Amino acid sequence: MRKHTLLFVAMFVSIFSMAENLLSPDNNFRLNFYLSETGEAVYSLTYKNKPVIIPSKLGFELLNAPALTNGFTTLKVETKTCDETWKPIWGEVKEIRNNYNELLVILEQKAEQRTMKIRFRLFNDGLGFRYEFDKQPNLNYFRITDEKTEFALTDDHKAFWIPGDYDTNEYAYTTTKLSEVDASKVDGTGIGTHGFFAKNAVQSPLMMKTNDGLYINIFEAALVDYPAMQLLIDQKNLILTSALVPDAVGTKAYMQTPQHTPWRTIIVSDKAADILASKTILNLNEPSKITDPSFIKPQKFIGIWWGMHVPNTMSWDYAHAPNIKLKDTDWNALNPLPQHGATNKNVRRYIDFAAEHGFAGILVEGWNVGWEDWSGNWKEEVFDFVTPYPDFDVKALNAYAASKGVKLIMHHETSASVTNYERRIDKAIEFMKENGYNAVKTGYVGWIIPRGEHHDGQWMVNHYIRVAEKMAENRIMLDAHEPVRPTGLHRTYPNWLACEAARGNEFNAWSTGNPPEHETILPFTRLMGGPMDYTPGIFEIKMSYYDPKSTCQVHTTLAKQLALYITMYSPLQMAADLPENYEKRMDAFQFIKDVAVDWDDTKYLEAEPGDYITIARKQKNSDNWFVGGITDENARKAIIPFNFLDEGEWYIATIYEDGKNADWKENPMVYDIRKVLVNSKSVLKQNLANGGGVAISLKKTTKAEMKGLKKIK
Ligand code: NOJ
Ligand code: CA
């Protein structure tokens, strides 16, 4: 008996003597780390004593070298605590608290004489961890063929997912149990380039909900010099494993010590709204590298843009001239198409509209030569980024914009010929500076050149950052379309205002579109890593307006388009519809004119992924608040308490709501606008239509202004 006990104690010591525990500052999370009998690194995570991640392995397979998966012993363990507050250059809140407990385990593979560190940071809303490799004789250059990071789950959770894909994230979401994921069944029509790789693979951020109401988000932070992490699902054992995007020769990551991986993040709460409020991804990114951020201006903009996406309205192309070569085309000899969008006349009209209604920028696409033959041919020399079409007078237009106090926004569609873009980018930037541009939208439609690379691989990840850095050096703001999805790098490069990197509103113009639940999922997935250039504000909802034969439409009511300015956070928001469509509905357009894009505070009032979101935000340096509430295809009553307002003050609430019998499909464009009075004790019960929404602007008021307005209890 005694012998047995001793043996048990000895075993316990040998297996678990290395066990380390770490608590979050509020004690709600507990991280456990230990080495298995064969020296594998294993971690697990609980939240309020409930298991979230059960024992899961960590490590890497390497090319032509022994794996970093087992044979580890612990050399040293260090702990640390951090509690600091920092101020973002722009954001959803004025100040961000960075509060975590840290555990650093330094592991050694004696046989290989190599070390690997794992740094865990436990916050009050979840865990971040990364691998670090010091410079060392036996681990200098190495190639990762597979990252073996596991996230072993407790059950077959409900998941909001898009297919794993090396080249695109422009899918609509599917909601199923993890065991039911079949990425091969997802319709990808309308998406330019696919890099589908496995039916049981999904992308991160992955949002999940457990049967007992826990919300779990798995993602990554600070993706630098490393490929994006997607997730392979072991559908029997419910274990997710990191699936890195490979390069053209099949390698995942090229490493040279000292180097570290991005952070793997697991954000958890029993309230869905807390997931939206999490600042952990930002906290895991490096502080701003921009010493003088005065050129960075959160803004609203319009553009010569929607006209190209809707039927029969505008074109990017100047002329009909397929199969052209940049260097031997005489543009002046071509016959311009009547629908060419970026003409002097149109751009002036848009400049006037922007100036009149307070928009800082005007995006102009289709201004430069090359659009005649830009996509589908995997061609290297498509655009030169410096030659305007004959009907776009770059100097005169920028001067006209300047005279009206607004600026044109540059467009660099690279056609994914990244080699060409990199060769020409310095000249392109010079051209922008000479002509007074301070912002650029980039685009990567098509197959990447260098051929065989992927949009989300290490090479491209570095490219996007190189562009952000170059633009920062030249005091230019950046909005990237079709890049890898963001991972909080806008903290480090705050000139990188927004990205697309998901299925934007444009899909509604020419494809099956975005189902009404789409915008209730994106904030829990894509927006976890940073702002999205979703391009809200479409008033003319049905494309049959432009082409009687078209069945395409925006899958929301008009009021929901307004609400998106609040629920889809971005410091760069487009008023995406055509000016003439706004001119017909100036009363509703007023909300887009008024709404802020930079905030001192944000309250996530109610949220459920796939169903609804209601958010209130306080405008930067102002007493004004704005509220946005959206729902999926089901009508609902949003309950909006105004307890965030200053006590003892009355506010005029201008409510932009779905009109009578509004319905995203049958009757999307009816809306009402009413004014009521609210104070910090008021609770508004607000009806949202199927696929509907509500947008509210709140201004402090005086006794005189209150006359005749109804008070909400
Ligand atoms: C796709 C982008 O998302 C869209 O905004 C742009 O107009 C086209 N590419 C052309 O660059
Ligand atoms: Ca739903």
- Same domain as 229, residue 309: no
500 lines ligand 1 (CB under 6 A): yes
608 CA → ligand 2 middle, Å? 9
Tell me which H or E stretch contains 469.
Answer: helix 458-473
Find out whether 27 and 17 touch, Cβ atoms under 8 Å.
Answer: no
Find out whether 683 and 645 touch, Cβ atoms under 8 Å.
Answer: no
Express each pLDDT in 18-36 by its tens digit.
699 999 999 999 999 999 9
Beta strands in 63-136 (DSSP E): 65-68, 72-86, 96-109, 114-123, 126-133
Express each pLDDT in 548-600 by its tens digit.
999 999 999 999 999 999 999 999 999 999 999 999 999 999 999 999 999 99
Range of the structural domain that residue 103 is part of: 3-283
- Same domain as 165, residue 303: no
* Ligand 1, pocket-test mutation among 481, 499, 500, 533, most atoms within 8 A of CB: 481
Q: Which of 191-200, 382-391, 461-470, 682-691 is the least confident region? A: 191-200
191 lines ligand 1 (CB under 6 A): no
pTM for this prediction: 0.97
Average pLDDT over residues 172-200: 94
Express each pLDDT in 427-445 by its tens digit.
999 999 999 999 999 999 9
443 lines ligand 1 (CB under 6 A): yes
Per-residue model confidence (pLDDT) at position 650: 97
441 lines ligand 1 (CB under 6 A): no
479 lines ligand 1 (CB under 6 A): no
On the question of pLDDT at 14 being above 80, the answer is no
The DSSP-derived string for 225-253 is SSPPEEEEEETTTTEEEEEEPP-TTS--E
- Same domain as 303, residue 278: no
On the question of pLDDT at 637 being above 80, the answer is yes
- Same domain as 265, residue 346: no
Residue bearing the CA closest to ligand 1, atom 3: 481
Is 118 inside a domain boundary?
yes
CA 406 to CA 221: how far, in whole Å?
35
321 CA → ligand 2 middle, Å? 46
- What value does the mean pLDDT of the chain take? 96
Is 79 inside a domain boundary?
yes
Is 288 inside a domain boundary?
no
- Tell how far CA 75 is from the center of its chain: 39
- Same domain as 297, residue 259: no
Average pLDDT over residues 323-348: 95
Residue bearing the CA closest to ligand 1, atom 5: 481
* Ligand 1, pocket-test mutation among 167, 365, 514, most atoms within 8 A of CB: 365
Query: Which protein residues have their CB within 5 A of the ion that is ligand 2?
Result: 517, 610-611, 632
300 CA → ligand 1 middle, Å? 18
- Same domain as 166, residue 74: yes
- Same domain as 348, residue 239: no
Beta strands in 488-624 (DSSP E): 496-499, 572-574, 599-608, 612-619
Active site residues: 506
Domains in the chain: how many in total?
A: 2
Quick one: which ligand is closest to 690's CA?
Answer: 2
Express each pLDDT in 195-227 by its tens digit.
889 999 999 999 999 999 999 999 999 999 999
* Ligand 1, pocket-test mutation among 306, 506, 511, 538, most atoms within 8 A of CB: 506
Find out whether 115 and 75 touch, Cβ atoms under 8 Å.
Answer: yes
Find out whether 706 and 677 touch, Cβ atoms under 8 Å.
Answer: yes
CA 138 to CA 146: how far, in whole Å?
19
Last residue of a domain, one of 283, 306, 322: 283
